[in-house]
Homo-oligomer: A and B are copies of this chain.
């Protein structure tokens, strides 16, 4: 059982264009062609594409993903490299998650202010303070009142 590129697009959510682009970019060195030159995807290929989307979801650039897939193609000899690549990436993802978490909390705070009954008062106060700061420094007021 093999799949056409259209079927793979439907299964993965990636567009046909994207799949071809990935192939051309060297992310899919495992995909075989039939005699007509058509790509034929196996279930194992889908697994590997799933790994690619995991890496992409976590923000890995295509060039790094390509490197990883190339190493996968070379068999067990590249396990140390893959291990390093993935564990470095893991650290980056953890850091990124922490940053997002922090920013999210600050946004939640802003939302809480907007939802407060006295939101208008708060917002006005904040706006006035910033404008006063400009005036105090002899600067033009960029706020249209």
- Is the CB–CB distance between A142 and B29 below 8 Å? yes
Main secondary structure of the interface of A (DSSP, over half): helix
A33 at the interface (CB under 8 A from B): yes
Interface size on A, residues (CB 8 A): 66
Complex contact B83–A44 (CB within 8 A): no
Q: Among the listed B57, B103, B137, B143, which residue makes an inter-chain contact with A100, where contact means beta carbons less than 8 Å apart?
A: B57
- A binding-site residues for B, Cβ under 8 Å: 1-2, 29-34, 40, 42-45, 48, 51, 53-55, 57-59, 73-76, 79, 82-83, 86-87, 89-90, 93-94, 96-97, 99-104, 106-108, 110-111, 114-115, 119-120, 123-124, 127, 129-130, 133-134, 137, 139-145
